[in-house]
Amino acid sequence: MRTQLIIFDFDGTLGDTRHMIVTTMQMTIAELGLPERSEAACASTIGLPLVRCFGTLFPDLSEDEVQRCADTYRKIFYENLEAIHPQTFPHVVETLSALKEQGFTLTIASSRSHASLVQLTQDLGLSDCISYLIGADNVEIAKPHPEPVLKTLEAMGFEAGQTLVVGDMAVDILMGANAGARTCGVTWGNGTREDLEKAGADFIINSIEELIEIVNDDD
């Protein structure tokens, strides 16, 4: 089947949010008096739901303590939006606009909250291109479970065979594969090419413009 639906991850795929996420994590850790964690350690959890991020960084914390971390992170995140302004990666806006103009349906499935997705896509000029958003609070089971993709398919009326999932982390690739969709890894985000290859990505691209050729080359 020809690709008609493209489901994007957000952080590390469309939005260059690494600095903001890591800064917010480290501010959260400091505010709660937890042991410091390096930039690399914080960045390695990007793509996971917040409670899993902090649970990974601090495996000895209780469920309630991890939830407190997540709640504190959200508070600081919205404060940081005033001072730290995330950007899209190069050519993201132009490529999404071109894909929409060609008739593709574009959606986002992210591990961040739905509210933050709405705000960020508006702030970054992406909202006119995106038809549907799924955040961590819209699903029962997070990536790499296929639920975000399956809910998108149901909402938008497409089949897995018509779908390409695009992301920078192994969890994105596994989520798409577990739903029966094709997958495309991107090398400019937070994951490595090796991680994407191990996860079984059908395609791996070095610039988002390459996506146009991929989705137009499968008739």
**pLDDT per residue rounded down to tens, the chain (219 residues):** 899 999 999 999 999 999 999 999 999 999 999 999 999 999 989 888 899 999 999 999 999 999 999 999 999 998 998 888 889 999 999 999 999 999 999 999 999 999 999 999 999 999 999 999 999 999 999 999 999 999 999 999 999 999 999 999 999 999 999 999 999 999 999 999 999 999 999 999 999 999 999 999 865
**Which of 151, 106, 127, 141 lies closest to 9, judged by CA?**
106
* Residue bearing tokens 């090398």: 187
Q: What is the CATH number of the domain that holds 156?
A: 3.40.50.1000
* 147/55 same-domain check: no
User: Could you give the maximum distance between any two Cα atoms of the chain, in Å?
Assistant: 56
* 22/99 same-domain check: no
- CA 79, CA 148: separation in Å to the nearest integer? 28
Q: Tell me, what's the pLDDT at 133?
A: 98
* 124/210 same-domain check: yes
Give pTM, 2 decimals: 0.91
* 120/210 same-domain check: yes
Count of CB atoms within 10 A of residue 30's CB?
A: 11
* 190/128 same-domain check: yes
Q: What is the CATH number of the domain that holds 65?
A: 1.10.150
Q: Tell me, what's the pLDDT at 218?
A: 66
* 73/101 same-domain check: no
> Are 86 and 20 contacting, i.e. CB atoms less than 8 angstroms apart?
yes
Q: Tell me, what's the pLDDT at 1?
A: 82
Range of the domain at 30: 18-80
Residues 6+ apart with CB under 8 A from 46: 11, 12, 18, 21, 53, 169, 190
* 90/153 same-domain check: yes
* 102/182 same-domain check: yes
* 76/119 same-domain check: no
Total domains in the chain come to 2
* 165/186 same-domain check: yes
What share of residues in the chain are helix, strand, coil (percent, to 5)? 45, 15, 40
Mapping DSSP onto H, E and C, the string for 141-196 reads CCCCCCHHHHHHHHHHCCCHHHEEEEECCHHHHHHHHHCCCEEEEECCCCCCHHHH
- Cα-only R_g, the chain: 17
Question: What are the two backbone dihedrals, phi and then psi, of residue 133, each rounded to the nearest 5 degrees?
Answer: -125, 135
Question: What are the two backbone dihedrals, phi and then psi, of residue 114, each rounded to the nearest 5 degrees?
Answer: -60, -40
Pairing of strands 87-88, 105-109: unpaired
